[in-house]
Amino acid sequence: MSATLAILTAGFVIGMQHAMEADHVAAVSTIATRQKSLRGIVGHGATWGLGHTVTLVLLAGGALIFGRAIPEGVSHILEAAVGVMLFGLGAHVIYRLIQERIHFHRHKHADGTVHLHAHSHKADPETVHQHSHAPAHDHSHPAGLPWRTLLVGMVHGLAGSAALLVLAAASINDPATGFLYVALFGIGSILGMALLSAVMAVPLIWTAKAMTWAYRSLQAAAGVITAGLGAWVLYSSASAL
């Protein structure tokens, strides 16, 4: 295997591994909680990877053309922006659950079977009557590219770990090889996140259909963990400034 081929292969493999980083998984998991189909969840994961790749290509292009990478101080600021974004994503999931007024009922059947049932007042008749102009199913499902997910991926491409990729690309003597390295890294990220999203989809889809309380619990866990991780990233970045 030639040195160039080895470098390009490493870029693809590292890109797949890069998609598995905790902050990436947290961001995509909050987006996935709004989807109830395998296609939707995997599609959003791949779109996140596409946005991530677009930013990396732009940053790497600048580094290769001008011979300069992102200054360390700016990198910390961008990392802090990612922390704010993560906190916002997690907080929005929690807010959505509170807004839907999810609570649990304990049911006991005649045969003695007891089970919990999650219930939302979001579409109660009283609420619908008060807001008769708004349908109970009040969120849209755009048929085109999920731009919000793409933007999240693009912002994530600004994080510190991505800056290390740009440095690696800039250190390659041949600019064409450097661009190809970044492109394969991005393709690896897209594929890695799509595969990871497929894994995420299994418990989300199953609990959405069979165990509403577990589905809501997964949503809440994703929101709390993502918001907490965002706060930690923001704190760490601010401390480094």
Cα gap 104→102, rounded to integer Å: 7
> What pLDDT is recorded for position 219?
84
Q: List the beta bridge partners of residue 151.
A: none
Nearby residues of 1 by Cβ (< 8 Å), 6 or more positions away: 9
> What pLDDT is recorded for position 49?
87
pTM: 0.71
> What pLDDT is recorded for position 132?
42
Cα gap 52→190, rounded to integer Å: 8
> Do the Cβ atoms of 30 and 89 come closer than 8 Å?
yes
Q: What are the start-end ranges of the H helices in the chain?
A: 3-18, 22-32, 38-66, 72-99, 125-130, 147-156, 160-170, 175-210, 212-240
Q: How many CB atoms lie within 10 A of CB 223?
A: 23
> What pLDDT is recorded for position 120?
53
Calculate the CA 159 to chain-centre distance.
14
pLDDT by 10s per residue, the chain, length 241: 577 787 778 778 878 887 788 888 888 888 887 777 888 888 888 898 898 888 887 877 777 777 666 677 777 888 888 889 999 999 998 988 888 765 555 656 666 665 555 555 554 444 444 444 444 444 444 456 688 889 988 888 877 656 666 666 666 777 777 778 888 888 888 898 888 888 888 787 777 776 777 778 888 888 899 999 989 988 888 887 7
Q: DSSP assignment of 188-206, as one string?
A: HHHHHHHHHHHHHHHHHHH
